[in-house]
Structures are given as C-alpha cells and as structure tokens.
Amino acid sequence: MAVSDVRLDRRRLVGLTTAAAAGGGLVALVEGVSGGAAARAERELPLSPPEDLMREHGLLNRVLLVYREAIRRIKRGDAVPLEELGTAASIVRTLIHDHHEHVEERYLFSALRRAGRHVRTIDVLLAQHAAGRALTAELLPLDRIPARRVDARARDRIRRTLSTFIRMYQPHEAREDTEIFPAFREITPPREFRELSERLQEQEARRLGPDGFARLVARITDVERSLGIHDLAQYTPEDAPKPRRPGRARPDEDRGERRS
Ligand SMILES: [Fe+2]
Ligand SMILES: [Fe+2]
C-alpha cells in the first residue's frame, strides 16, 4: 500500500464515529483494510499545515523550472512547448490557485490578520494570488493552440507572461516559507494546529481526489521528461567534488566516536 493510500485510510478512520473507532478491528473490517494497515495508518503523523503547503511550493518550483526551460527555448528561437506549458499551467490552477491559495487565505492569512501579524505583507500576497491567477489564465489555452498560429508577437507575449510569473512567485513563496508559515505556527495553539492538519488533508483529498498530490507529481514528471529536464544529475556542476558514500563516517568522526 502506498503512503498516500495509508493516509486516505487514516482519513476514513478519522471520519468515523467515536463508537465505531473504539471497535478497532471492526473499523478495519468495515473499511476493508487489514488490521496491520489500520494500525500503520493510526501511527502515521498527518502533515502539519506548513509542511503540506511547503510540499506544494516544491511542486510549484518544479513548474517554474518548466517555465524557465520554455523561456530558454523561445529565446533560442526553438518551438514553444505548447502542450507542456498547458499541462504545467493546469497543474498550477488545480493545486496552487484552487487549493493551496484558498487554504492560505481562508486559514493562515485570516488568523494572522486577526493577530495583527504581517498585515501589510498579507495584502501584497493576496494581490499576487489574484495576479497569478490572471497569468495562469493566459497560459492555460496554450495546449489547444496550433503551433502555426504562434507568431513572433505571441512568442514574445508567452515569454513575458512566463517571466512575470516566475519573478513574482519565487519571492512570494520564499516569504511565505520563511515568515508567514512560521508566524502562523507561533500564533496557533497546538490543538488547533493538529485539527487543522486533519482538515487540510481532508480538503486536499476532496479537491484533488485520491492520491491527488502524487498524481500531480507524476504529471509534472512527465512534462519534465518531455522537455529533457527531469534528470536531477544534469544540474550538478561537472567539476563538483566526488561525494562521500552515505553511511561512512570520516576518520575524524570515527575517532570522536571512540573517544566518547
Ligand atoms: Fe501564497
Ligand atoms: Fe503559498
């Protein structure tokens, strides 16, 4: 069973009544999961809200790499990767605009505003959410436009839209990761924090469907493969020093361990 399946099972368990949940094995039978799977699900920690949102920022960053590659191709005079851009924009709409930003606005920004924290930054972030949605709306139809209709003016417009999107979202998500999410953790009592973790997992399953995040990761992986930017090793400098093999301590670390 995949990790995400276990998480869904856990969500189903959480949704049951207290009386049913007290039945343990019965719950597992009713839900069609084995006792072992139910026990594993119960042990699994839900993603905390910042962890969940930062994971989504990670997927957004992979989209930004796709957009960068498209810009590179346009500047070089190559064909615009229309299909890949349309797919990447649809991932942004589904995950970021329709889910992630809704969560930020509904739960985090409103709580921080009430607490008088980062109020001016939140105004800017909200304006950027609206701007991001408008930029994505320009990119969404690209996979339905015939390549022959993309003239020099259209190429330039696509390039500028992609650049504007990247320029805005990199500082946007960096500010959220380093200031907004930590501040939200600071002002939220632990019990509310845990309850919100469960609620966000349920919302994500409802909006994205079962295994929704994993399916979006698979889609962006396909886009990266199609553009030849998926192999992580291509980003390592050629003259990078050879890495140590994981799990092997340096000699000085060995000596330190023996001393203690
Ligand atoms: Fe945001
Ligand atoms: Fe965000």
Q: 212-246, pLDDT tens digit by residue?
A: 999 999 999 999 999 999 999 999 999 888 888 77
Q: Which amino acid is at 35?
A: G
Alpha carbon 161 to chain centroid, angstroms? 21
Up-side HSE of residue 83: CA atoms within 13 Å toward CB?
A: 7
Tell how far the Cα of 104 is from the centroid of ligand 2, in angstroms: 7
Quickly state the pLDDT bin for 104 (edges 50, 70, 90): very high
Q: How far is CA 30 from CA 14, 24, 27, 172, 248, in A?
A: 14, 10, 5, 45, 47
Tell me what pLDDT residue 124 has.
98
15 has pLDDT over 70: no
For the CA of 126, the nearest ligand = 1
Mean pLDDT of 244-259: 60
The segment with the largest mean pLDDT, out of 12-26, 37-51, 200-214, 245-259, is 200-214
Tell me what pLDDT residue 245 has.
77
Domain range annotation of the chain? 3-43, 49-231
Tell me what pLDDT residue 20 has.
34
Report CA torsion sign: 122, 125, 129, 131. positive
**DSSP-derived 3-state class of residue 38:** helix
Kindly report the average pLDDT of the chain as a whole number: 83
Statement: the pTM of the whole predicted model exceeds 0.75: yes
Quickly state the pLDDT bin for 209 (edges 50, 70, 90): confident
At residue 95, φ and ψ (nearest 5 deg) are: -85, -45
| Pair 98, 208: CB distance under 8 Å | no
Encoding tokens for residue 136? 């994505």
| Pair 89, 142: CB distance under 8 Å | yes
Mean pLDDT of 64-82: 97
For the CA of 57, the nearest ligand = 2
Tell how far the Cα of 176 is from the centroid of ligand 1, in angstroms: 7
Tell how far the Cα of 110 is from the centroid of ligand 2, in angstroms: 14
77 has pLDDT over 80: yes
Tell how far the Cα of 181 is from the centroid of ligand 2, in angstroms: 9
Tell me what pLDDT residue 6 has.
36
Q: How far is CA 115 from CA 109, 177, 199, 242, in A?
A: 10, 19, 21, 49
Residues bordering ligand 1, an ion, CB closer than 5 Å:
104
Tell me what pLDDT residue 251 has.
58
pLDDT 10s digits, 125-183: 999 999 999 999 999 999 998 888 889 999 999 999 999 999 999 999 999 999 999 99
Q: CA 112 to CA 247: how far, in whole Å?
A: 42
Tell how far the Cα of 92 is from the centroid of ligand 1, in angstroms: 12
Q: CA 215 to CA 70: how far, in whole Å?
A: 23
Tell me what pLDDT residue 62 has.
98
At residue 246, φ and ψ (nearest 5 deg) are: -60, 145
Tell me what pLDDT residue 249 has.
61
89-93-97 Cα angle (round to 5): 135
Q: CA 6 to CA 34: how far, in whole Å?
A: 11
For the CA of 58, the nearest ligand = 2
Please state, for a pLDDT cut of 90, what percent of the chain lies above it.
67
Tell how far the Cα of 10 is from the centroid of ligand 1, in angstroms: 28
Q: Count CB neighbours of 232 within 10 A.
A: 8
